Structure 1
Amino acid sequence: MADLTPNYPPAVASAVIAVMRSLGTLAKGNENKFDKYDYASIDDFIHFVRGHCIAAGLFIEPNEAAEAKLVDVAKKDGKPMAMWWSRFAFYLVHESGERAGPIFKTVMVQANGAQAAGSAQSYAMKQFMRGQFMIPTGDADDPDKISVDISAQGQSETDLQRQAGRIRRSILTAQDLNELGLAWSDNSVNIDHIRRVSDTAYDFLVSEYEKRKTVLEADA
């Protein structure tokens, strides 16, 4: 859901119209071989829009609007699945210095490891550009559709999500390898529970741990 700021300075509004006027239709040239649909990737969108934004003296400034978190949901078959929830704030900035925003985009993608954060940012940026500049993408299915049916039950924050979020924060705030080890060992009971309930959430925490360990080892 997007919360649009209605106040567009004249230079920004004029530049947005200029971009919209110059754009055509973006073809979906990539095939998702698993779900059998065509989609336009984030690189497709950037290549399609960037030159027109430059000509109009406009650029997009992306920011995180809230701390990302794991959300535990239930699929239609009753099996648990961890999702990565993110909220982004975009600004439209004109070369004159005038700017409009923040314009918010909230997305939730499957928490499938370290790439979940990048997937969420790419999806939010793509949908922002698509909506802001009203970019048609053809008659095929919507890009990045999610083929997994999610039950309405379990959409709210759960104990599993809160546990995973606290553990992730303790991992990310560890200042040395000793603190990192304690962040994992002190939460071993909860981590084991997460592993038994959601492989996806557990794999995500392991990935966050390994990334933080690599950083701390490099700083040691």
Structure 2
Amino acid sequence: MVEKLPKSIVKAICEIKKSLEAVSKTQKNSHGGYMFASTDDIYAALTRKMGQVGLVIMALEDKCEIVKVEKDGKTVQWAHFEFSFVLATDEDTWSDERAKRTLYIQVTGPQTFQAAQSYAEKSYMRSLFKTPTGDMDLDSMPQAETEEGQAALNGNGGKRKSSAAAKRDGTDKLFNEIKQKIETAESLDMLEQLPDLYADEIATLPRHWNELIQHTYEDRAAELRQ
């Protein structure tokens, strides 16, 4: 049974939606070269409007579980987060367990925990207000299972080739092979292994080719989640 939203909260949400326009994209991805709307962009578009109508959204961290994973002699840490949210006006307060956001993220430093909350808040606010951005955000990038694999996937693990050089030495065949394996991955588990398996190769691809790999990965992940 759905818990009824108080009238004052419904009214506040609708007032914000009536005046909400597309969120500006102020950030540029250094690897893909595309613009995206950051969490700060979402806040900038919504927080003043929320203040005007008297609506508060609070994120509550309900769970943070750290799991160590051993693979190929390396230890990596993953965090399992759960966040719930409280909506409040000066008249009413509302929350629902089914409105939680759950995510798994690799722990690479103290910034990981702030990034997790920011991601959860951004996801919740975009869903609540149907905020249009049309962006491919950093949180949609493919993630490798190890820090070494992630660094290589992001382009930090080797020197990139130019498109011309890659075609001359046959790297285009490798690109097509990786792209095909992503497109034909039969499960999310299989898909998520590919960034690690081809981390060194992906790190040397021309930037434009790397961006195509990233888009292909995200499209296939979305298909498999459905």
Q: Which of the five TM-score ranges fits, normalised by the shorter chain?
A: 0.5 to 0.7
Find the counterpart in structure 1 of residue 85 from structure 2: 90
How far apart, CA to CA, are the structure 1 residues paired with 2:102 and 2:47?
A: 23
Percent of aligned pairs with the same amino acid: 26
> Which 5+ residue runs of structure 2 have no aligned equivalent?
146-187, 193-226
Kept after mapping to 2: 8 A contact 1:38/1:143: no
Distance 1:92 1:34, change over 3 A: same
One-letter amino acid of the structure 2 residue matched with residue 92 of structure 1: L
TM-score (norm 2): 0.56
Q: 1:67 to 1:57 in 2, by over 3 A?
A: same
Q: C-alpha offsets along residues 112-164 of structure 1, whole Å, 9 cap, x if unaligned?
A: 111110010010011111111000003x42452122356617x9xxxxxxxxx
d(CA) in 2 for partners of 1:112, 1:81? 9
| Pairing of 1:45-56 with structure 2 (within 5 A) | 45-56=42-53
- Partner AA of 1:124 in structure 2: A
**C-alpha distance in structure 2 between counterparts of 1:42 and 1:32, whole Å:** 14
Structure 2 counterpart of 1:87, one-letter code: E
Output aligned runs, 1:120-135, within 5 Å. 120-135=116-131
Match of 2:15 in 1: 18
Separation of aligned partners in 1, 2:87 and 2:70: 34
d(CA) in 2 for partners of 1:35, 1:84: 26
User: CA, structure 1 residues 22+64, in 2 after alignment: closer, same or farther (shift >3 Å)?
Assistant: same
Instruction: Give 1:64 shift.
Output: 0.9
1:60 aligns with 57
Distance 2:24 2:13 in 1: 21
Secondary structure of the residue that 1:113 maps to in structure 2? coil
> Are the aligned partners of 1:29 and 1:39 in contact in 2 as well (CA < 8 Å)?
yes
| Secondary structure at the counterpart of residue 63 of structure 2 | coil
For the aligned residues, what is the CA RMSD?
Answer: 3.0
1:59–1:71 CA distance, 2 compared to 1 (3 A): farther
Give the equivalent residue in structure 2 for 1:190.
none
User: Residue 121 and residue 94 in structure 1: after superposition, are their counterparts in 2 closer, same or farther (change >3 A)?
Assistant: same
Aligned 1:24-173 pairs, distance under 5 A: 24-70=21-67, 72=69, 81-102=76-97, 103-138=99-134, 140-142=135-137, 144-148=139-143, 152=189
Within 2, Cα distance between the matches of 1:25 and 1:69?
36
| TM-aligned CA deviation for residue 72 of structure 1 | 3.6
